[in-house]
Amino acid sequence: MSMDEVRDAYDANAEDVLEMLGSEVSTADPDRAVIEPWADTVEGRILDVGSGTGRWAGHLAGLGHDIDGLEPVERLVDLARTAHPAVTFRLGAIDDLAGSDDRWAGILAWYSLIHLGPDDLPEALATLRSVLEDDGTMLMSFFSGSRLEPFDHPVTTAYRWPLPDMARALNRAGFEVISERWDGPAPHAIMLVRA
């Protein structure tokens, strides 16, 4: 599935995405226990890749972090800018970062790489590595499973990546895996990596 198809699917379903995720992080959101401590370790700017409705970028900015959002869907960027006017949200995709002089000390890729299959993920990871400062960290979440396979996601096709396959892809892109977590059979996985 091309990134244009993914963007178009999210654009057509922007209101559903807003209803599903909201534009604010709930006080009961369990992901806070992972994302907030990681953000506290980042010494410098953070990039929220695939920032969607802006909920995490807005939340982390509210905690005092210097953060930018990057989102390829114009309708979601508009929603994010409305909900979090103090945060910079850029309209663009990961491949738009290729050749950029911008650098970030941390990258949050929270379920933002889930639509990338084996033909697209390596280039996206290499691009993210190119804009992450040396020794910077990336916190990412994705869907895992026992084999690499596409599945039906509420918006458009997504992929399950076995942890070893994702780790290899990250290593080839220039990342070192610091920690990983997958509580199978639930599909949700988390990796913390260093450039």
Per residue in 64-104, pLDDT (tens digit) is 999 999 999 898 899 999 999 999 999 999 999 999 999 99
Beta bridge partner(s), residue 49: 70
pLDDT at 80: 94
pLDDT band at residue 7, thresholds of 50, 70 and 90? low
Choose between 182 and 16: higher pLDDT. 182
Q: Assess whether pLDDT exceeds 60 at residue 18.
A: no
Q: What is the pLDDT of residues 136-194, one digit of tens each?
A: 999 999 999 999 998 877 667 789 999 999 999 999 999 999 999 998 778 899 999 99
User: For every residue of 14-54, which 3-state class applies, written as one string?
Assistant: HHHHHHHHCCCCCCCCCCHHHHHHHHHHCCCCEEEECCCCC
pLDDT band at residue 49, thresholds of 50, 70 and 90? very high
Measured in residues, the chain has a length of 195
CATH of 3-194, one of 3.10.129.10, 2.40.160.20, 3.40.50.150, 3.40.630.40: 3.40.50.150
The pair of structure tokens assigned to 183 is 């509580």
Q: Assess whether pLDDT exceeds 90 at residue 15.
A: no
The CA-based dihedral angle spanning residues 65, 70, 76, 80, taken in that order and rounded to the nearest 10 degrees: 20
pLDDT band at residue 109, thresholds of 50, 70 and 90? very high
DSSP 147: S
**Cα–Cα–Cα angle for 68, 71, 76, rounded to 5 degrees:** 110
